[in-house]
Amino acid sequence: MASPIPVRTPAAAAAVDPIGADVAVAESAQPSRPLRRRWRRRLVILIGLVAAAYAGLWMVRWTRDFTPVATRRFLTGGPLVFAHRGAAALVAEHTLVGYRRALADGADVLELDVHLARDGAIVVSHDKDLERIYGVAKTIADSDLPALRAALAARQPAADPAALLPTLDEVMAAFPGARLNIELKADSAALADAVATAIERHGRGDEVLVASFHKGALERFRRASGGRVATSASLSEAARFYACYLLSVPCRPDYEALQVPPRLRASWPQFHLDSAEFVAFAHRHGLAVHYWTIDDPAEMARLLAAGADGIMTNDPARAAAACAAGSAGR
């Protein structure tokens, strides 16, 4: 009878040849060659899909019928000086006195923020309450306009509360013919509808641009106004447009202006919106580019040299001088 073939266990193999056993164990711990090949194939496929998607975007860029946004009368005659909250560097913000000063200092556009009071009045204010500016602990949305002004009068009896806290209707009546940049501060359909109605009531459609960080409020306003009033991009719309710029593909904007800071965020210096290339890309779409909030004359000059169509500032006199110098140099 033949003797059985001996079977060498790993332990026995290690005892006979420890070096060979280590090599065998290391090889068994590594993935098999077919598995490595499968991963390489998957990686190649993934890279190919990404390349194909990007190539498709480029094909869209060159083959799609592209029509720039039509120019609105509000945006002509630039570069424009936007008086941010009036002449806020010199006079109390969002007051009738501040708006008069801004126009006297050469502002082309009065920038104002609006909230909706409980009684439906469209109140001109940056904040949702009166605490920071006037020390009045009242929230606009929870108060009627008479109550807000009564509290303001009690705090500042020598001042006219209507001049300190005007409504949108009062600003439009006080400054006929002046261009207005109206920002919807709340993501509110009621506010969007009320602003659209007020603009129509005063016949100011060609003299107004409506802005908001909130896409929903802007979409509601565009529907309510029938698209007859210029708007700027919301925060998400501006981000999408910037992505189109990075990919060099065209966008289909539902707005006529980009109102943006020079940098997307201070902590993201690589994402900047103030290059001449970005402005030119926006201009190819028919869009105007306005920068906020710029008070330094050197920064104004730099942005204007890059092609900016407007400067939003707390000091309209400085911006008017910078725009005049920039226009003379073009």
Closest Cα to residue 215, out of 234, 196, 232?
Answer: 234
The pLDDT tens digits of the residues spanning 258-311 come to 999 998 655 455 568 999 999 999 999 999 999 999 999 999 999 999 999 999
Closest Cα to residue 308, out of 72, 75, 68?
Answer: 75
Question: Parallel, antiparallel, or unpaired for β 129-130 and 136-139?
Answer: antiparallel
CATH code: domain 108-227 is 3.20.20.190
For the chain, the distance separating the N- and C-terminal CA atoms, rounded to the nearest angstrom, is 108
Q: Is 177 left (phi over 0), alpha (psi -120 to 50) or beta?
A: left
pTM of the model: 0.80
- Predicted confidence at residue 242, as pLDDT, reads 93
The pLDDT tens digits of the residues spanning 161-204 come to 999 999 999 999 999 999 999 999 999 999 999 999 999 999 99
Q: Going residue by residue through the chain (330 aa), what tens digit of pLDDT does each one get?
A: 444 444 444 444 444 444 444 444 444 445 566 677 777 778 878 887 877 666 666 555 554 557 899 989 999 998 999 999 999 999 999 999 999 999 999 999 999 999 999 999 999 999 999 999 999 999 999 999 999 999 999 999 999 999 999 999 999 999 999 999 999 999 999 999 999 999 999 999 999 999 999 999 999 999 999 999 999 999 999 999 999 999 998 898 999 999 999 986 554 555 689 999 999 999 999 999 999 999 999 999 999 999 999 999 999 999 999 999 877 655
**Structural contact between residues 84 and 313, judged by C-beta atoms closer than 8 angstroms:** yes
- Predicted confidence at residue 37, as pLDDT, reads 74
